[in-house]
Each structure stands twice: as C-alpha cells, then as structure tokens.
Amino acid sequence: MIQAEATARYVRTSAQKAGLVLDLIRGKDVNRALATLRFTRKGIAADIEKVVRSAISNAQNKEGFSGDVDRLYISACYANQGPSAKRVRPAPMGRAFRVLKRTAHLTVHVSERPEKVVAVATTPGAEAPRPKRARALKSATTPSKKAAKKA
C-alpha cells in the first residue's frame, strides 16, 4: 500500500480557515476531493488543491505504485500554525494596535486503497444468502387499525 504526502509551508492564511476546507476533503478519494475543492468558495481552496495534486504526483513516483490514481484517497490532511508576522496599525492619540498576519503549514497524506477481494462461491449453483429486508415502521400519519375501527 503506497502512502505519500505533500506540504505547503508559510501559506498566508490562518490554520483555522484552512482547517475548515480540509475537513471537507478528509477521507474522500482524490478525484472527488479535487472536484470539491474546485467548487469550494474559499480562497484557500486553490492552495489546498495544489497540495493535493502534488501529493498525487508524489504517490505516482513512488516505488510499487499500481498506476491507478482512482485507488488513491486522502488518508489525512491538516493545517498547522506557522509563524505570525507582527505589524503595527496606527491608532488615535499616538497609540498603535498590533496586527498579526498569520501563516499556516498545509499537509496532505494520500494512500492507496487495498483491492477489494470478491468471494467466489465454492460449489457451482450455490448462492450467497440474501440479507433480510428491514421491516417498515408505522408512519405517524397512518392511522392504526384500532383507530380505523372506531371511526
């Protein structure tokens, strides 16, 4: 099973804002994650998409990769806080307010899903047992038999 990662460091956003977008793609397969990032209306989504594509490329270049990108999924993704740049904003009466320009380190791990093993029937003509159907619950809008007799 192949595992690869990619990291973008010193991205100009807060780790909290990046974490909101990373939560959307965690655990998804890479094609679905890229589609999600494409239509996410957050500025950081473009940077995260770049990191995901880099992680896919890193997985493709690893020894032992099967060659099927569709089997890759995002196994972990997180945003750590980077260094904050301190700036000063002038305030009334000669005072100054401090402004923190935050940065984040974005990390994406991709892994290859194991191949699904299909169970083959040992005897010809033998079928797998069918699962039992769930019984439907009575609806709140459907009157019961007792209520129907009274009416």
Please state which CATH number belongs to domain 3-112.
3.90.470.10
Instruction: Determine phi and psi for 134, rounding to 5 degrees.
Output: -75, 140
The string of DSSP codes covering 121-136 is -SSTT--PPPPPPPPP
Residue type for position 70: D
Domain residue extents for the chain: 3-112
Question: pLDDT (tens digit, 9 = 90+) per residue, 111-137?
Answer: 998 877 666 656 666 666 677 777 666
Question: pLDDT (tens digit, 9 = 90+) per residue, 65-104?
Answer: 888 899 999 999 999 999 999 999 999 999 999 999 999 9
In a 13 Å sphere around the CA of 106, the CA atoms on its Cβ side amount to 27
Confidence class of residue 6 from pLDDT cuts 50, 70 and 90? Answer: very high
Q: What is the pLDDT of residue 115?
A: 76
Closest CA to 3 of 81, 68, 56: 56
Q: Average of pLDDT values for 9-26?
A: 97
Mean pLDDT of the chain: 88
Closest CA to 59 of 116, 113, 115, 117: 113
- Asked if 112 contacts 65 with a C-beta cutoff of 8 angstroms, the reply is yes
